[in-house]
A and B are shown apart, each in its own frame.
Chain A
C-alpha cells in the first residue's frame, strides 16, 4: 500500500530524514519510534504530504504521492499532528466533522451524511458522549479521542498519528492502544504512529520502525526490538527484558 524509496528531507542544511526505505501493507499497526529528534515527526509529515521529500519517492497505492490530487490523497490518508489545538473554542462534533473537509466541494457544506460519519467515528473512539462538549473543557485523554475520531471521520486507509500516547496516564495509554488495535481490525486501515512508549508499542504493534539520526535503523517485528543489546544500541538504554517488557537496570 505504501512504498517509501530512498526518501531524504533536509531543511536549513540539516538532514532530518536520510535515505529511508520501507514498505507497509494494509491492516497493520506500525509503531514508529526512536530517540528525540531522530526524524519520526518529519517522516510522518512527508507521508502526510505536509513536506515534499528532497530526494526519493513515496508511492501510495502504486502511485507517487506527488501525483495524487491533494484532496483525493486526503480522503485516503489522514494525519494527526502532535497536540493540535484549535485557536478558538470548538465543539467536539464540529472538530470531528471537519475531518470530512476533503469530501466537500468549494462552496459545499457538511451534509447529514457527514454528520453521520462524525457520529460513527466518535462512537468508534468511545467518545459519543463528548459530541456537544467544548475541547477546552476536556481532559487530555478525551481530547485525544476526539482528534482520533476526526481522523477516522474520513474513513482513511492510512492513518498517521504523531505521538498520540504522549501525556496520557497509564490506563489511558492502554485504552488508547486497544483502540488503535481495534481500528486496525475493524476498518482494515493501516495505522502508523510515532511514540516513545516502547513497551506499549511493542506489546500492541505488528511491526516496529526505529529511527536513529534521520535514518531507519530497524524495521522488524517487536520481538526483534525488545532485546537488551538492541535497545542499548538504538536508545543507549540499559535494560533487561522481563516477559517481553523492558525493565531498567537500576
Chain B
C-alpha cells in the first residue's frame, strides 16, 4: 500500500513535469509566471483528475467483479458507459453539445438511468440475479450502441470530432472544478464501499453462503452497485469512456496480492490512479503535435505488464 502511494506520488510528479511545453517544477519555483500558469492551471488539474478517474474506475471494477462473482465484469458492464454515451450522442445530434457542461450532465444522467433500468430489469421478487443483471446490461448496451450510431449519423458534421473525442476518452481541458466535483464523488463512493467491504468479501463463496453468514445480501448488492455506478457515471461525465482500467487493474492487483476485497479495494484504486496518470502522460508526449486517446495508452501500458505477471503466476 505504501509502495503504491509512493509510486502514485512519483507518477503525479512525472505527469506534471512532462508535457508539450518544456516547463518543469524548477521554473515554477523560480517564479516564472507562465510556467506557474501552465503547471497549476493546466497540467496539475489534469494529472490529479487522471488519478481520480483511474481510482474511480478501478474501484468500481473490483466491486463489480466481486458482486457479480465474474472476472470479466468491468465498470461499464451494467450499461453505465452505454447510457452515458447515448446521452452524449443524442445531445450532440440535437446540436446542444457546444453548450459547456451539458454533455457531462446528460452523460451522468444517462449513466445513472441506464444502471437503474438494468437493475429494475434484473430484479424479480426482491431478488436480483447476477446473471440476469449481466445479461440486461449487455442487451441495453447493444440498444444504446444502435441509438448512438443513429444519433451520430444525424449529428451536425462539425460536432462529430468532439463527440468522437469524448467517446475515446479524453482528459484535455481539465479544470480544478472538474477535480473538485469528481473528488466529491470518489470520496463518497469510496467511503460507502469501505463501509460494506467486510460484507462484500463474503460474496466470494456465493450469495447463499454470504446470507447464511448473516450478510444482508440484497442490501449490500444494491448499495455496492449504486455507489460504483454513480462514481463511474461521474468519471465518464468528466472524461468520456476510458476503457481497460476498471477491468484489468483489479486483476493486476490480484496477481500481485492475492487478498480479499477489503485489501483489493484500496490497492485497485491506487493502481488505477497510477495507470491512468502514466497513460495520460504517454498520450500527451508520444506525439509532439497532437494528443492521442488516453484509453489506448491504458491498454498499451497495462497489457504488457499484465501479460508478464500472468506468465509468471501459475
Q: Name A residues whose Cβ lies closer than 8 Å to a Cβ of B.
A: 45, 48-50, 69-75, 77-81, 84-91, 94, 98-99, 101-102, 104, 106-109, 134, 137, 160
Contacts and interface: CB of A to CB of B under 8 A. Distances in A.
Contacts of B213: 74, 99, 101-102
B212 A79 contact: yes
A74 B214 contact: yes
Interface in B170-215: 194-195, 198, 201-206, 208-209, 211-215
A134 B258 CA distance: 10
Interface in B221-259: 254, 258-259
Contact of B65 (A50, A87, A98, A106): A87
A85 B69 CA distance: 10
Nearest to A107: B198
B156 interface: no
Task: Provide the main secondary structure of the chain B interface.
Answer: helix
A95 to B, nearest CB: 8
A78 B210 CA distance: 11
Contacts, number: 81
B209 A84 contact: yes
B258 A90 contact: yes
Contacts of A81: 205-206, 208-209, 212
A80 B209 CA distance: 7
Nearest to A109: B262
B212 A106 contact: no
A74 B216 CA distance: 12
Contacts of A70: 214-216
Contact of B209 (A79, A90, A94): A79
Contact of A88 (B71, B206, B215): B71
A109 B261 CA distance: 12
B34 interface: no
Contact of A101 (B195, B198, B254): B198
B260 interface: yes
A78 B198 contact: no
A167 to B, nearest CB: 17
Contacts of A77: 212
B131 interface: no
Contacts of A88: 71, 204, 254, 258
Contacts of B195: 106-107
B20 interface: no
B310 to A, nearest CB: 13
Nearest to A86: B204
Contact of B214 (A90, A94, A102): A102
Contacts of A84: 205-206, 209
Nearest to B202: A101
Q: Which of B206, B214, B254, B259 has the most CB of A within 10 A?
A: B214
Given A50-B212, A74-B213, A87 B198 contact: no
A185 B83 CA distance: 59
Nearest to B125: A11
A98 B212 contact: no
B70 interface: yes
B115 interface: no
B71 A89 contact: no
A45 B71 contact: no
29 contacts: A45-B212, A48-B208, A48-B212, A49-B212, A50-B208, A50-B211, A70-B214, A74-B212, A77-B212, A78-B212, A81-B206, A84-B205, A84-B209, A85-B205, A85-B206, A87-B69, A87-B71, A88-B71, A88-B254, A90-B204, A98-B260, A101-B198, A101-B213, A102-B213, A102-B214, A106-B195, A106-B198, A107-B194, A107-B195
